Amino acid sequence: MIKQIWPEPADIDDERLEQLYTYPEARRWLAVNYVSSADGAVEVGGRARRLSSPADQKVLKLGSDLADVLIVGATTAMVEEFRGVHPDEATLERRRRHGLRDVPPTAVVTTGRSLPADAPVITEAATPTLVITCASAPESKQKAWEAAGAEVLITGQDEVNLAAAVEALVERGLNRIDCEGGPHLFGGLLAAGVVDELRLTVSPLLVSGTHERIATGPSLDPVEMDLASVLTEDGAMLVRYLVRNRP
């Protein structure tokens, strides 16, 4: 049983968990989902899966089940073998109950170097994938993505303009945005000032090593956050933070 320990102790059933992880409806909302070890590692043996837990998988699934679009970095999509969302009956019921389309698209962010045209996130997606890239990405690569079934969005010249990318998603009516990594994308979204919420699972593991942190990129003035909820199950902590002074 998942238990809430803040703001007040309570047992959390599936209905209450869904309420906690539902996106606000009145505005664009970008939530970042992450799992890390207690000492800050974001992967074990190159994959995040070994840090996860049943409770973490539940909230990760809610992140995508209740989103209009998933956004992910190309390297993470390849390493974690993303295939886009393929809804089961529970997901379909939940999405229809919230008035969402059956299958949310995945938006993959790449400069063109790390996303082959035959990537599973493109070729095995149940709905066309959005490839968000920059104008300097090779034209041959852009055409290959499109031939494989993706829609290509250009935002930026030599680097992806993430603020413009988020705006392009919103213009398509994709207001509830679920970011599933990796660290460079999270760092870039922070720098662009478009993150609204961090959903962090802290796994009760210590792994040491020289792993990346959950956000990587240029140093920022500290982004202040407010604690929204703290849950726990089997030693893992599931924490929600809301970015303070969101634009």
Which tokens go with 40?
């800050």
Q: Evaluate whether 40 touches 211 at the Cβ level (below 8 Å).
A: yes
Residue 247: per-residue pLDDT: 59
Nearest to 232 by CA among 54, 86, 90: 54
Residue 47: per-residue pLDDT: 81
DSSP state of 1: -
* Spans in the chain with pLDDT lower than 70: 246-247
CA dist list (Å): 117 to 53, 92, 111, 153, 158:
32, 28, 13, 15, 20
pLDDT per residue as tens digits for the range 139-184:
999 999 999 999 999 999 999 999 999 999 999 999 999 999 899 9
Q: Evaluate whether 67 touches 30 at the Cβ level (below 8 Å).
A: no
CA dist list (Å): 124 to 81, 82, 83, 226:
10, 9, 5, 38
Domains of the chain and any CATH numbers: 28-243 (3.40.430.10)
Work out the angle between the directed axes of helices 162-171 and 183-192 (0-180°, nearest 10): 80
Please indicate, yes or no, whether the overall pTM of this predicted structure exceeds 0.75: yes
d(CA 58, CA 14): 9
